[in-house]
Structure 1
Amino acid sequence: MIPSNRLIFLGFLVAGTLSGCASQKPAENPDAARKRPEAEAIRGKPAEGETVTQLDANGDGQTDVWEFRLKDVLVRKELDLNWDGRVDVTQYMDPQGAKVREVMDLDYDGKVDATYQYAEGKRTQGERDLDGDGKSDSWLYYENDTLVRKERDANHDGRVDYWEYWEGGQVDRIGEDLDGDGTVDQWTRNPKTKPAAE
């Protein structure tokens, strides 16, 4: 592969990986996702029977992409997006090759900071560890591959206390729990969005 084609290929990988703050369905059991005791490692170990193919996407002589196959079916792909020799993103595929889960190491410490779930190729929900303590403190929900809601545990007490509702690619309104009882006490509406019809 000539160098320009490698860069184009890597561009597609990055675009596909980083695109899509976009699709939502409420989590079936959000409490289970919020109780992860410690962050998982970004780099998985090959399972029994898996084979790995190493690819050099940018032509620098170093591996940037690791593809894991089980009986010739791609089940996982690991990507080094900043070319430092370490995995930054791991994608998990179903037997048909569609992405079902993606994990990212956003601060390059070797641990997962963000996890996204997919259905039929569209992002449905995500969770992030914003403070690096190994526990999720931000949750994202998508509809039709479009971000519609963010929730956050801003005071790190294990309960959501901040909500953002998105419409048309921007924040429509923000709800805040000021007294810690788990319900919204204060709403702030984006002055640039139109209120819903009564």
Structure 2
Amino acid sequence: MPSMSKWVVGLALVGLCGCASDKVAQKSEEAQEREQAAPESIQPPQASNEKVTKKDTNTDQKPDVWVYTVEEQRADGQGRDRMVRKEMDINWDGRVDITTYYDAREEREREAMDLDYDGKVDSVFFYEKNVNVRRERDLNGDGRVDSWSYYEKGKLARTERDSNGDGRVDYWEYWENDQVDRIGEDLDGDGNVDKWSRNTPAE
């Protein structure tokens, strides 16, 4: 083969290798994204410093509540077991459906729910001073939050939704007096409201 032809073939092979490596890198990045978006387990593994107490609330000889505590010292030097997490099986199928996390004062700060009983978290309520302030949901089951609800003084104030799965909010509802007051929509995908519509309840 003439030297010029070898040179051309060599360049072609380098180009093909470059394309292949780009595809591998792209696949790797996509795999990482999928891995990061893996749904959270409703029952996290028990930490080494946690003790678990099992309870049978329906007297079927099977536990349906699991209370996790950690040992710590109080200000007076006395030891105590502080509750950090509680898991509940509410349909008595032997699997956890709700996991509640508690702060240093044993007040609720996060409550995760498995709504479709697949072992993965679908909905999470967030609390401040034991009052619900936000709810996040994964509506399509891809492991990423696509619906957010915000509460003020215990009442729903605003909801946001990523309706097309691109990771960006494109739909907003603002609530007043327990009903939708106005709706905002992002029609071009730039993250900003393009269209507002107001609720006009029938008289």
Output the CA distance in 1 between the equivalents of 2:47 and 2:201: 51
- Which protein is bigger by CA-based radius of gyration? 2
User: Which residue is equivalent to 2:27?
Assistant: none
Tell whether 2:140 aligns with 1:141: no
Give the superposition deviation at 1:192: 2.1
Tell whether 2:186 aligns with 1:177: yes
Output the CA distance in 2 between the equivalents of 1:77 and 1:66: 6
User: Which residue is equivalent to 2:51?
Assistant: 51
User: Which residue is equivalent to 1:85?
Assistant: 94
The one of 136, 140, 161 aligned to 1:131: 140
The structure with more helix, counted as a fraction of residues: 2
Give the superposition deviation at 1:188: 2.2
User: Which residue is equivalent to 2:121?
Assistant: 112
- One-letter identity of the residue aligned with 2:38: E
- Percent identity of the aligned residues? 56
Q: What is the count of residue pairs matched by the alignment?
A: 159
- One-letter identity of the residue aligned with 1:47: A
Give the superposition deviation at 1:193: 8.7
Residue ranges of structure 2 left out of the alignment (5+ in a row) = 1-35, 72-80
Instruction: Encode CA deviations 1:35-69: one digit per residue, 9 max, x unaligned.
Output: x5221100011111211111112222221110001
User: Which residue is equivalent to 1:3?
Assistant: none
Instruction: Encode CA deviations 1:90-131: one digit per residue, 9 max, x unaligned.
Output: 000012110011111111111111122111000111211100
TM-score, with normalisation over the residues of structure 1? 0.76
User: Which residue is equivalent to 2:41?
Assistant: 41
Instruction: Encode CA deviations 1:15-37: one digit per residue, 9 max, x unaligned.
Output: xxxxxxxxxxxxxxxxxxxxx52
Residue ranges of structure 1 left out of the alignment (5+ in a row) = 1-35
SS in 2 for 1:150: strand
User: Which residue is equivalent to 2:65?
Assistant: 65
Give the superposition deviation at 1:179: 1.6
Question: 2:37, 2:142 within 8 Å by CA — same for their partners in 1?
Answer: no
Note the aligned Cα RMSD (angstroms).
Answer: 1.6
Q: RCO greater where, 1 or 2, for CA within 8 Å and sep 6 or more?
A: 1
- One-letter identity of the residue aligned with 1:44: P
